[in-house]
Amino acid sequence: MHRWRNIAVFTLMIAFLSGIMFAAGCTLIKDITPKENISQQQDGVADASLPGVGPDTIANIVDRVSPAVVKITTVVEVGYNNPFHNDPLFRQFFGINPQPQYQSGLGSGFIISKDGYILTNEHVVDAAQKISVLVKGHQKPFEAKLVGADPSMDLAVLKIEGKEFPTLPMGDSNKIRVGNWVIAIGSPFGLEDTVTIGVISAKERPLEIDNRAFEHLLQTDASINPGNSGGPLLNLNGEVIGINTAINAQAQGIGFAIPTSTVKEILDELIEQGKVQRPWLGIQIQQVTPDIANFLGYEGSTGAVIYGVVAGGPAAKAGIKEGDIVLVIDGTKIENPDTLIKTVQKKKIGSKLEVEVFRKGKTLTINVEAAERPANVR
């Protein structure tokens, strides 16, 4: 009997100690949870202080931000319905007055200021005779004015008249990480308020699309279709970290967005001046390869090979020729084409650049005056 009493006391003591340990564990978990959420916030994931973090996070974000996402429709003149519309004798003889033909376009955008400034892609509104913007909660579309556009970066700013429009905040695309969740909202195929989700698949993607050379695109597997162009790519704080701009027609689950780090560099200039002024030399360049170096008699591996010179451009006027290898610009060693582009972009329009080139076994110094890049050059 005494032995059974000892066993019962021992069992009660273990149960008591287990209860204390369980309570301490719960307290520890409770203390750790906020710290984990803070760590996630720093990594570009949802801010734990936002309402609805959990199963309804995305739904709550969409409810909050979707009023600022707009559907854009355009009307573009594409030609005439008669091949002889430019022949005055034909029109006089047959008495035909050819009518222009128009084509409609679709895209997306988002409002960035309460007084109606809208950010979208340049290709969405390129050559448009009329731009209409449908804002959620308004029955009739607004007629939009093109404020500024930058074809090379595929960005444009529109303006609609009104006050107290809902807006989207710009986030920091540099903080987003590969694997972080993102949300795309837009009007694919004209279906406004379409929401898709995915992750950041890669960063700093270089890509050439429609003669536009991009260097720092975000890649995502969130579904992006025609009509999504110009719409926002959002993090889980509901901040814009990219502008959806392209899809890869040969693959599924691959879309691209212009990061906000690129947008912020030129946004004010687009609004204030209507364009981005960039210095331009009028040359086409490529990497120095062993075959090219051997053909030109160049023993080095750095520099940028000029394979095209624009007639009448700054480089052509200064005497730079195809086959020249650019080695140095104003004391900066040109390692590759990317170095040349970044070096020239830092210069002011009208400034004279001292350019060292390799030509037929000799190094020449040529002075080139940087001009403003023409609007039709991307």
CA separation for the pair 234, 242 (Å, rounded): 7
DSSP secondary structure code for residue 250 in this structure: T
- Rounded to an integer, the average pLDDT of 46-53 is 49
Which of 247, 273, 299 is a domain's end point? Answer: 273
- What CATH number corresponds to the domain at position 178? 2.40.10.10
Is the domain of 290 the same as that of 254?
A: no
In a domain, 4, yes or no: no
In a domain, 210, yes or no: yes
DSSP secondary structure code for residue 188 in this structure: G
For the chain, how many structural domains are there in total? 3
Q: List pLDDT tens digits, range 155-168.
A: 999 999 999 999 99
CA separation for the pair 308, 305 (Å, rounded): 9
- What CATH number corresponds to the domain at position 286? 2.30.42.10
Q: Residue 376 — pLDDT band, cuts 50, 70, 90?
A: low
More confident residue, 350 or 19: 350
What is the per-residue pLDDT for 91?
A: 57
Least confident of 87-101, 160-174, 364-378: 87-101
Least confident of 2-16, 304-318, 321-335: 2-16
Q: Which residues participate in catalysis according to the annotation? A: 123, 154, 229
**Rg (the chain; Cα; Å):** 29
The pTM of the whole model exceeds 0.85: no
Nearest to 247 by CA among 225, 231, 230: 225
More confident residue, 53 or 176: 176
Which of 273, 300, 319 is a domain's end point? Answer: 273
Range of the domain at 204: 173-273
Q: 3-state DSSP helix/strand/coil percent for the chain, to nearest 5?
A: 30, 35, 35
The answer to whether the beta carbons of residues 34 and 48 sit under 8 Å apart is yes
Least confident of 13-17, 189-193, 343-347, 357-361: 13-17
- Rounded to an integer, the average pLDDT of 136-159 is 94
What is the per-residue pLDDT for 362?
A: 94
Which H helix or E strand runs over 286? strand 283-287
CA separation for the pair 133, 287 (Å, rounded): 43
Is the domain of 201 the same as that of 250?
A: yes
